[in-house]
């Protein structure tokens, strides 16, 4: 069965709009890009539309060179008119992910990539968790109570696998978590013995029905292009025996809303009321 996430989506939209109405001015999202690819520019256009629908001011700042980027990020961090900063990927040669996020104030790091925001998760006090990890948490909590559930995460990235594991291990959430990666043996055995499986490996249709027991909640984080079609990391046939999030229109759609919600939260925390 394909999971219907529309009620969750609608509830987050309403929450964002309500919170914006309580601010004395619209929050502002600064999208920063350096040497963007055409697909990046197209993504920014769609992001701008979503922001404007919600009542969030949106501005794109393009840095021609890495040296410009290194000056721009601290400048925007110090700009009181900017609520949150979004940095597009891939980054150009000449600056690492860690170097780039360290130039962004943790208070404006709405993507949750800064070490300070990642570290807060370890202390069960997340402020801005990585958006995709938080989106998966929203979906899990929407579908079931994760307490005591056996949850397997396939993928160990800094933006999904690792922070999601820590969010699920928080006191009060209390899931039992297994994280798999490319060196994990017998992944199929682990996923078959799980109540919930989150797949975030970036390989189209990699996990088929043989990886899951009937009735498992399967959350597909993947977005892959194959023959001009969009596929997740999980084969669509898995929906015949499991509850499966849609691709597209699933985790990615909720992730965009979480990003926008973080902009509002950053504005609230800055005292824009």
Among the candidates 75, 108, 141, a domain finishes at 108
Residues 6+ apart with CB under 8 A from 240: 209
Residues 6+ apart with CB under 8 A from 102: 114, 115
Does 155 count as an annotated binding residue? yes
The helix (H) or strand (E) run that includes residue 86 is strand 84-87
**The pLDDT value given to residue 39:** 85
Q: Please tell me the total count of domains within the chain.
A: 2
C-alpha dist (Å) from residue 6 to 40, 67, 136, 139, 253: 26, 43, 15, 11, 10
CATH number of 71's domain: 3.40.50.10860
Identify whether the C-beta of residue 191 lies closer than 8 Å to the C-beta of residue 207: yes
pTM above 0.75, yes or no: yes
| Same domain assignment for residues 71 and 184 | no
pLDDT tens, residue order, the chain (273 aa)? 999 999 999 999 999 999 999 999 999 999 999 999 888 988 899 999 999 999 999 999 999 999 999 999 999 999 999 999 999 999 999 999 999 999 999 999 999 999 999 999 999 999 999 999 999 999 999 999 999 999 999 999 999 999 999 999 999 999 999 999 999 999 999 999 999 999 999 999 999 999 999 999 999 999 998 888 899 999 999 999 999 999 999 999 999 999 999 999 999 998 755
Does 113 count as an annotated binding residue? no
Tell me, yes or no, whether 271 lies in a domain: no
CATH number of 208's domain: 3.40.50.720
Tell me, yes or no, whether 202 lies in a domain: yes
Alpha-carbon dihedral angle through residues 116, 22, 258, 10, given to the nearest 10 degrees: 160
Structural domain boundaries enclosing 84: 23-108
Does 223 count as an annotated binding residue? yes
| Same domain assignment for residues 179 and 228 | yes
Closest-CA residue to 207 (of 135, 160, 156, 155): 155
Tell me, yes or no, whether 90 lies in a domain: yes
Does 139 count as an annotated binding residue? no
Tell me, yes or no, whether 118 lies in a domain: no
């Amino acid at each position: 069965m394909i999971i219907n996430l529309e009620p969750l989506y609608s509830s987050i939209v309403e929450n964002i709009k309500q919170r914006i109405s309580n601010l004395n001015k619209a929050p502002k999202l600064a999208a920063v890009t350096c040497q963007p690819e055409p697909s990046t520019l197209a993504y920014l256009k769609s992001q701008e539309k979503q922001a404007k629908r919600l009542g969030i001011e949106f501005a794109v700042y393009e840095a021609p060179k890495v040296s410009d980027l290194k000056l721009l990020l601290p400048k925007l961090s110090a700009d009181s008119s900017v609520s949150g900063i979004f940095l597009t990927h891939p980054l150009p040669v000449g600056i690492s992910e860690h170097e780039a996020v360290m130039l962004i104030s943790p208070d404006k790091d709405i993507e949750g990539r800064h070490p300070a925001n990642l570290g807060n998760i370890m202390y069960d006090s997340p402020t801005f968790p990585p958006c995709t990890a938080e989106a998966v948490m929203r979906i899990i909590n929407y579908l079931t109570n994760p307490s005591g559930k056996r949850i397997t995460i396939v993928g160990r990235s800094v933006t999904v696998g690792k922070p999601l594991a820590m969010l699920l291990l928080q006191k009060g959430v209390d899931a039992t978590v297994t994280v798999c990666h490319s060196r994990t043996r017998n992944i199929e055995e682990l996923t078959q013995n799980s109540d919930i499986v989150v797949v975030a490996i970036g390989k189209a249709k990699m996990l088929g029905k043989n990886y899951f027991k009937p009735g498992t909640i399967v959350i597909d984080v993947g977005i892959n292009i194959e023959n001009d079609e969009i596929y997740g990391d999980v084969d669509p046939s898995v929906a015949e025996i499991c509850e499966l999030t849609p691709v597209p229109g699933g985790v990615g759609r909720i992730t965009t809303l979480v990003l926008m919600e973080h902009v509002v939260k950053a504005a609230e925390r800055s005292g824009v009321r």
